[in-house]
Amino acid sequence: MIKNILFDIGGPIDKEVLMDKLIDEQIINSLKFFDINISKEEYIETQNKLLIAFSKNLYKDIIWELTNKNYKLASIIEKQLYDTEKERNKKRGFFEPQENIFNILENLKKKNYNLGIVANQPTRCIKIMQKIGLLDFFSNKYVSDCINLYKPDEKFFLYVCNDINANPYESIMVGDRIDNDIVPAKNLGITTIRFITGRYRIQKPRNISEKADFNINNISNIEEIIYNYGL
């Protein structure tokens, strides 16, 4: 019987649609400054190739490929991407809540599910979630940067489970990435729901061990799966 639901933030809770768009624009503009003219189509082609290959550091790898593996230039463009992060966050309003996410989390809490966060995010994400009223739904109040543990490291999942008193076999993980969310959770006996959204929607499982137990295209379907399948 499922008693605990673990959430990634980017994708299931924070849409990050505008954030992704702004990152793409920043990389393309930085390349253009150094006389590397990349069309949006060429950029997406490179990005998708890396996504399908389960790139562990997508933006770094995109820059590496598009600079033709020029270490010095790639380092400069990476720094520009990092230095403009605050500006991007401000432009997108710091957080892009998934539609109806407040109601979904509230309904799950009312049904006495123990909710947890397992997310690779900067520490400031916690302050933003607190400010907009999302953090109160969760039993743990930290992300990867707070504890120096990062997905897909299974120790991160176990740390959270231990902290919120959640048995992995009585838990669900909701995430959008096969490599970071689905695989490590399944390895620990956690039931998995993959939210097919954003950049990572094109990822495909390469074998049965990478297949999520359930796939959804709308975050509201979480409740339907839990209730209909008697989880």
In tens, the pLDDT along 56-76 reads 999 999 999 999 999 999 999
What pLDDT score does 229 carry?
A: 72
What pLDDT score does 230 carry?
A: 63
Q: Where would I find the beta strands (DSSP E) of 114-207?
A: 114-117, 171-175, 191-195
The SS3 call for residue 93 is coil
Residue 43 in contact with residue 211, Cβ under 8 Å?
no
Going by C-alpha positions, the residue among 220, 106, 229, 228 that lies closest to residue 174 is 220
Q: Could you tell me the CA-to-CA distances from 145 to 18, 23, 59, 101, 141 in Å, in that order?
A: 22, 20, 18, 23, 12
pLDDT for 231 beyond 70: no
Q: Give the span between the Cα atoms of 141 and 116, in whole angstroms.
A: 8
pLDDT for 199 beyond 80: yes
What pLDDT score does 90 carry?
A: 95
Q: Which pLDDT band holds residue 228 (cuts at 50, 70, 90)?
A: confident
pLDDT for 51 beyond 90: yes
Q: Where would I find the beta strands (DSSP E) of 99-138?
A: 114-117
Reported as a single tens digit per residue, the pLDDT across 19-29 is 999 999 999 99
Reported as a single tens digit per residue, the pLDDT across 119-171 is 999 999 999 999 999 999 999 999 999 999 999 999 999 999 999 999 999 99
Percent of the chain with pLDDT strictly greater than 70: 99
Average pLDDT, the chain: 97
**pTM, rounded to two decimals:** 0.95
Q: Which pLDDT band holds residue 226 (cuts at 50, 70, 90)?
A: confident
